[in-house]
């Protein structure tokens, strides 16, 4: 028996080594596009096209000129685009987390046909392509005055509710009901039970949902482009899309610079909160 166990150990370590190598290669493949975006953000525009994978040096090195050009191009202040993207992202994420977590708690604890219908409707909404509703959505947003950075988060709440409800529901089902019953015996009502007992326990899933929603909303181009008035409100992706000169020419160096600037906050946030991701996603996949 001992000989067999010793034979299994090297084999297990060998398998783990191969998995480490494979996933390391996959990680490098995913990181390479970000690396080349950063690389080309310091190149002169013409060399971005002709020497895409070369290191910027000599006459191809543009320094920080691309960043200055991208920020000042077209007369529209880049800081306003950053502000609008920040407002939309934070408000949308807050609304999604706040309302879907409460909805998921209610769905998990109330065993009724209505709750099941709502749950399956949220899950089904994840498979509906955005392109099917984009034209109707644009007109509806104009009619209901949801075409500003302060109101478009309501639309993001609708599109982001499906995944969030699915993850929160799975996590709530893993919480022992006895904890909430003990809170009720101590005199807590539904709201106090949720905010004092349930919400703090949802932290891993809240962080996971927040990361997924922030990355989606921050980088989203199509929804703000369809709904917002581009002359007044431009998010960062829309601002980058307007980096065009005469006859439709695009300054690729400035474009790469702004793309690099826009992904830095998301990367920093992701790296800061990554320890909660696997725990939250795994908890959200629990079957009830």
pLDDT by residue, tens only, the chain of 288 residues: 444 555 555 666 677 788 888 889 998 898 888 898 888 889 888 888 888 888 888 888 888 888 888 888 777 788 899 999 999 999 999 999 999 999 999 998 888 899 899 999 888 888 888 888 888 888 888 888 888 999 999 999 989 999 999 989 988 888 888 888 888 888 888 888 888 888 888 888 888 888 889 989 998 998 999 999 888 889 999 888 887 755 567 778 888 888 888 888 888 887 777 776 666 555 545 444
Tokens standing for 127?
């498979």
* Residue 177 DSSP code: H
Residues 6+ apart with CB under 8 A from 223: 130, 152, 155, 156, 159
Distance in angstroms (rounded) separating the CA atoms of residues 238 and 78: 11
pLDDT for 287 equals: 45
131 Ramachandran zone, left/alpha/beta (phi>0; psi -120 to 50)? alpha
pLDDT for 8 equals: 52
pTM of the model: 0.83
Q: SS3 for 146?
A: coil
Distance in angstroms (rounded) separating the CA atoms of residues 262 and 239: 11
Q: Write down all domains in the chain, each with its CATH number in brackets.
A: 2-66 (no CATH), 76-284 (1.10.3720.10)
């Amino acid at each position: 028996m001992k000989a067999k166990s010793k034979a299994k150990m090297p084999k297990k370590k060998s398998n783990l080594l191969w998995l480490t190598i494979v996933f390391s290669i996959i990680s490098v493949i995913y990181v390479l596009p970000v690396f080349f975006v950063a690389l080309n953000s310091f190149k002169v525009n013409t060399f971005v096209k002709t020497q895409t994978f070369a290191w910027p040096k000599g006459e191809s090195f543009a320094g920080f000129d691309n960043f200055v050009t991208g920020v000042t191009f077209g007369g529209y202040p880049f800081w306003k685009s950053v502000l609008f993207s920040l407002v939309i992202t934070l408000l949308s994420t807050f609304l999604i987390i706040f309302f879907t977590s409460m909805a998921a708690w209610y769905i998990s604890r109330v065993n009724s046909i209505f709750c099941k219908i709502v749950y399956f409707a949220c899950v089904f909404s994840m498979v509906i392509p955005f392109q099917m509703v984009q034209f109707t959505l644009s007109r509806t947003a104009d009619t209901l005055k949801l075409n500003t950075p302060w109101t478009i988060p309501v639309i993001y709440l609708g599109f982001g509710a499906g995944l969030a409800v699915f993850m929160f529901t799975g996590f709530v089902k893993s919480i022992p009901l006895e904890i909430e019953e003990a809170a009720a015996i101590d005199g807590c009502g539904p709201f106090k039970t949720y905010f004092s007992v349930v919400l703090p326990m949802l932290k891993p899933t809240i962080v996971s949902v927040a990361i997924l929603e922030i990355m989606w909303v921050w980088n989203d181009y199509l929804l703000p482009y369809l709904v917002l008035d581009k002359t007044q409100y431009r998010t960062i992706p829309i601002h980058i899309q307007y980096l065009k000169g005469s006859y439709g020419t695009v300054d690729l160096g400035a474009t790469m610079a702004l793309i690099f600037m826009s992904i830095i906050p998301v990367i920093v946030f992701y790296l800061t909160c990554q320890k909660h991701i696997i725990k939250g996603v795994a908890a959200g996949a629990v079957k009830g």
